Amino acid sequence: MSESILSDLFLGELRSDLALPYPVLDGDQQELLGMLRDSLKRYGADHIDSEAIDRAHAIPEEVLRNLGELGLFSQIVPEEHGGIGLNNTQYVKVCETLTAIDGAVAILSGGHSTLGIKALLLEGTDAQKQRYLPRLATGEMIAAFALSEAGAGSDAQALTTTARRTESGDYRLDGNKLWITNGGVADLFTVFARTPDHPRADGRTSISCFMVEKSAGIQIGPEEDKLGIRGSSTVPLVFDGVPVPADNLVGEPGMGFKLALRILNGGRTGLAAGCLGAARLLLAEAARYTSEREQFGQPIARFELIQQKLARMAHDIHALDCMVYLTTGAVDAGRDVALEAAACKVFGTETLWAVVNDAVQCAGGNGFTTDYPFERMLRDARVNMIFEGTNEILRLMIARTGLAEPGRRMAAGVPSQEHYGRRISGAEAPDPLTVPDGLQADALALSLATAELARASAKALQDHGESLPGRQLVLGALADQSIAAYGQAAVLSRATAVVERLGEEGAAAELQLAKGACRRLARWGRESAASLRDNDDEVLLATAAAVTAAGGMPG
């Protein structure tokens, strides 16, 4: 057994001990979080003009200073280094708040805390932490994360920037980085580079992590002219013999790639929460607009096709909310939730894209103008499905990782009816989660979906064998099944906790949202499962090959 709900779903196991009870912050944690969020909201309402930031392609320096004073840059810095020391749930809830204030400010914060300083927190020495964290906490220094290159986007192993040892034992950094968030305003960069002087056991060049100050000689390229989040800084970097002291190597030499993955895996809940905050704001704007806008003598909110949009927005937002904070609670409990974080990122970014599309449609022609926030938020939302791991890459990661243990057991000849779980064949469904009476049918649906995922996983392993890692359409469908099931588990978990606290009458709104969210997720999971049995994969791939060969429409 693992400590991952999602990983065990591939085995047909539904771990009630991991799904229940739904995690909550204690009173002191809630109080600290509330004060920080309230101060950020007040400042944002009075001083942050998202339209002006979008037009100027920059956040004003005064705003950066004031946000630093409010604690924006100190959120996850430990108290002993001058920070607030938020746990993961608290920090992610601030991410949710920030995106509702302004998308560019949220990206600035995430680039600093989620990515830029995380290597220091995970693997930094005491001396490194003492040198940098106090200044990073106040905003005297802003941090950035430099991994991506022209030939190394999703394939980070392909990076070519190098850090070579000098006679003094220090390093000299040469190469180029692209799409570096915060790059134009940062003072400290977490840089990943190949280290030929630290070869891997197989003889290949390893990757190491370094803290590099801008003042060391980093050349900052021009700001990218982006579709959205225009106020966030995104630049290329050039390293031309930049000196880096040996003391600025973070972690063990040659372990940089694993460290980069740990940072990215851990940061995806913050991005998902940012999508949650933006989606909440969009739903509120759409609800207001449709209540005020009249056609045919009545508000358009009374029309069923508009109501359909508002309801599905609410159901998906609710599911995302439950998924994000079930996951952050597991992080705070010390569990490895790389798969769950990836699931939150995939579901969250695609939920926001669907929500903003529906919100624009609800606003009609006004949604296509700059008089309303919808078009700007649409532009801001699009990048989320690309960065911190494209959704395509994350689907492959979820499926390949989830299939690893069923594959190992199948290769070892472990019979599917052994006690290791509820059968990789999916022959038996696991016991449903214990939920309120009104959600028992949804709990049963989740149990059956778990068995179906195990059955589909076993069949994929049997049918495709060693070629399965390259069968991306199959892996994508399995990943979607698992994400849908995890979402159902999260929704049922929170609904159970709310009913226990408020009673079924007091939790009526929660139960209504839970039922709608579970049914949408269950339908998505069933459709994904059905696509493995009835699909047009062969004709699709043949057509794609013809398009590639023709350089466009074939024929």
In a domain, 542, yes or no: no
Q: What's the confidence (pLDDT) of residue 356?
A: 98
What CATH code is carried by the domain that includes residue 165? 2.40.110.10
d(CA 445, CA 439): 10
Strands of 130-289 (E only): list them: 143-146, 162-165, 171-181, 188-195, 206-213, 219-220, 234-244, 249-250
Decide: helix, strand or coil at residue 349: helix
Q: What's the confidence (pLDDT) of residue 412?
A: 87
Query: pLDDT by residue (tens digit) across 177-191?
Result: 999 999 999 999 999
Phi-psi region of 172 (alpha: psi -120 to 50; beta: other; left: phi over 0): beta
Q: Give residue 416's pLDDT band: very low, low, confident or very high (50, 70, 90).
A: low
In a domain, 545, yes or no: no
Structure token digits, residue 252: 């063990």
Q: Give residue 421's pLDDT band: very low, low, confident or very high (50, 70, 90).
A: very low
What separation in angstroms does the CA of 109 have from each of 299, 341, 411? Answer: 39, 19, 45
DSSP bridge pairs for 66: none
Q: What's the confidence (pLDDT) of residue 226?
A: 97
The 3-class secondary structure across 278-345, one letter per residue, is HHHHHHHHHHHHHHHCEECCEEHHHCHHHHHHHHHHHHHHHHHHHHHHHHHHHHHCCCCCHHHHHHHH
Both 167 and 237 in one domain: the answer is: yes
Both 396 and 519 in one domain: the answer is: yes
Q: Give residue 414's pLDDT band: very low, low, confident or very high (50, 70, 90).
A: confident
Tell me how crowded residue 350 is: count the other CB atoms within 10 A of its CB: 17
Whose tokens are 């000299």? That residue is 172
Decide: helix, strand or coil at residue 460: helix
In a domain, 468, yes or no: yes
Tell me how crowded residue 226 is: count the other CB atoms within 10 A of its CB: 16
Both 486 and 515 in one domain: the answer is: yes
- Average pLDDT (463-472) is 95
The DSSP 8-state label assigned to residue 411 in this structure reads H
Does 554 score more than 90 pLDDT? yes
Q: What's the confidence (pLDDT) of residue 155?
A: 81
Tell me how crowded residue 212 is: count the other CB atoms within 10 A of its CB: 25
Q: What's the confidence (pLDDT) of residue 320?
A: 98
Both 356 and 414 in one domain: the answer is: no
Both 526 and 420 in one domain: the answer is: yes
pTM: predicted TM-score of the whole model, two decimal places: 0.95
What CATH code is carried by the domain that includes residue 59? 1.10.540.10
Strands of 289-412 (E only): list them: 294-295, 298-299
Q: What's the confidence (pLDDT) of residue 323?
A: 98
**How do strand 234-244 and strand 171-181 relate by DSSP bridges?**
antiparallel
In a domain, 540, yes or no: no
Does 97 score more than 70 pLDDT? yes
The residue out of 385, 400, 425 marking a domain boundary is: 385
- Report the Cα 426 to chain-centroid distance in Å: 29
d(CA 203, CA 274): 41
Does 419 score more than 60 pLDDT? no
The DSSP 8-state label assigned to residue 302 in this structure reads G
* CB neighbour burial string for 524-542, b if at least 16 within 10 angstroms, e if fewer: bbbebbebbeeeeeeeeee
The DSSP 8-state label assigned to residue 212 in this structure reads E
Spell out the residues 6+ positions from residue 169 whose beta carbon is closer than 8 angstroms to its own.
Answer: 246
Structure token digits, residue 440: 């028992």
Query: pLDDT by residue (tens digit) across 26-44?
Result: 999 999 999 999 999 999 9
Q: What's the confidence (pLDDT) of residue 343?
A: 98
Nearest CA to 398 out of 322, 343, 450, 456 is that of 343
Q: What's the confidence (pLDDT) of residue 555?
A: 86
DSSP bridge pairs for 208: 193
Structure token digits, residue 143: 């941090």
Structure token digits, residue 547: 């398009």
Does 420 score more than 50 pLDDT? no
Does 72 score more than 70 pLDDT? yes
What CATH code is carried by the domain that includes residue 377? 1.20.140.10
Q: Give residue 1's pLDDT band: very low, low, confident or very high (50, 70, 90).
A: low
- Of 388, 405, 452, 510, the catalytic one is 388
Does 425 score more than 50 pLDDT? no
Both 134 and 147 in one domain: the answer is: no
Query: pLDDT by residue (tens digit) across 534-553?
Result: 999 999 999 999 999 999 99
Q: What's the confidence (pLDDT) of residue 418?
A: 42
Q: What's the confidence (pLDDT) of residue 225?
A: 96
In a domain, 292, yes or no: yes
Whether 388 is a known active-site residue: answer yes
Both 351 and 222 in one domain: the answer is: no
Instruction: Please provide the average confidence, as pLDDT, over all residues in the chain.
Output: 95
Does 331 score more than 90 pLDDT? yes
**Can you say whether the dihedral through the CA atoms of 419, 424, 425, 430 is positive or negative?**
positive
Assess contact for 44 and 102: CB atoms under 8 A: yes
Does 128 score more than 80 pLDDT? yes
- Average pLDDT (219-231) is 97
DSSP string of 224-252, one letter each residue: P--SS-TTS-EEEEEEEEEEE-GGGEESS
- Average pLDDT (304-333) is 98
Q: What's the confidence (pLDDT) of residue 417?
A: 44
The residue out of 117, 138, 159 marking a domain boundary is: 138
Q: What's the confidence (pLDDT) of residue 404?
A: 95
User: How many domains does the chain contain in total?
Assistant: 4
Both 163 and 285 in one domain: the answer is: no
Both 398 and 524 in one domain: the answer is: yes
What separation in angstroms does the CA of 209 have from each of 204, 261, 506? Answer: 17, 12, 51
Q: What's the confidence (pLDDT) of residue 152?
A: 83
Both 381 and 395 in one domain: the answer is: no
In a domain, 82, yes or no: yes
Q: What's the confidence (pLDDT) of residue 130?
A: 98
Does 203 score more than 80 pLDDT? no
In a domain, 294, yes or no: yes
In a domain, 530, yes or no: yes
Both 375 and 396 in one domain: the answer is: no
Spell out the residues 6+ positions from residue 26 whose beta carbon is closer than 8 angstroms to its own.
Answer: none
Both 371 and 272 in one domain: the answer is: yes
Domain range for 96 is 23-138
Q: What's the confidence (pLDDT) of residue 423?
A: 47
